[in-house]
Amino acid sequence: MELVLEDPGYLCAVEPRKTLELADEKAQANFELGVAMLVHGWQILTTAVDNSWGGPESAEKRDWITAVVIDLFKQNKEVDIILIHETLFNAMEDEFDVLVEDQSTVHIATAVVQIYQECLAGKYDRVQTMYQKYLQKQEYRKTHGIEKVEVQEDDSDDDSDEDQDEDEDMMDADVPQLQERASQPREEIIDEDGFTVVTRKGRR
C-alpha cells in the first residue's frame, strides 16, 4: 500500500538526546498510556483479539504491539508516521494473518505522533479524554457482552471458548503499569468491534 501524506509527522530527537524517549517521567508515562489507549481502542485489532485470530495468546500479542510502538521512540532518534504505520500493518499481518485495508494504521500512527507532541509540551488532556472514553466503552461491554465476528475457519476448535476466556483475563496484563505511572486507576482495556476485516486464511 503506497501512502502519500501531506504531513509525514517527522520527529527527531534534539541533541544531546539520542532517542525520542521523553525526559520527563510523567510525560513519558502519559505518552505510553496514550499509545496503549490507541492500540487497545483499535477496532480491527479488538475484533481480532475477541475472536482469537492470533491464537490463545491474542491478547498478549496486542500488548506486544503496544510495546513495539513505544519502543520505536525509546530506541530511535527519528520516527515518522510511515514507520509507525508499517510497524502496525506488519504486526497485524504477521501475528493475526489480517490485511488492514481501511487506512486505520495510518490514523493510529498519526494519532501517536500527535500525542507524542502533546505530551512533549506537557499537555495530557487528550490522553485523559481517551481514558474516560474507554471506561465508558468498558462499562458498555460489561453490560452488553462481546459480539464476535463470524469467519470461515479451516477446522473448528473445541478449545476456542477456553482460549477466549484466557485472552480476556490477560487483556490488561501490561496496561495497568502504564496507568499507574500516569496516575490513573487500574482498569481492564476493552473496546467495541466494527471495522471490516480482510483475511488471508482461516483463523486459528
What are the pLDDT digits (tens) for 106-154? 999 999 999 999 999 999 999 999 988 988 888 888 888 776 665 554 5
User: 84 near 108, Cβ under 8 Å?
Assistant: yes
In a domain, 163, yes or no: no
In a domain, 3, yes or no: no
The model's confidence at residue 13, banded by pLDDT at 50, 70 and 90, is: very high
Cα diameter, the chain: 56
Task: Label the pairing between strands 11-12 and 78-79.
Answer: antiparallel
Residue 187 and residue 176: Cα distance in Å, rounded?
Answer: 7
pTM equals: 0.75
pLDDT at 53 over 70: yes
In a domain, 16, yes or no: no
According to the model, what pLDDT value does residue 177 have?
57
In a domain, 120, yes or no: yes
Mean pLDDT of 61-89: 98
Number of domains in the chain: 1
Distance of CA 6 to the CA centre of its chain: 24
In a domain, 204, yes or no: no
Task: Calculate the CA dihedral of residues 83, 88, 94, 98 and round it to 10 degrees.
Answer: -130
128: domain range? Answer: 21-145+172-199
| Rg, Å, the chain Cα set | 17
In a domain, 1, yes or no: no
In a domain, 40, yes or no: yes
In a domain, 9, yes or no: no
**CA distances (Å), origin 53, targets 85, 96, 201:** 21, 6, 10
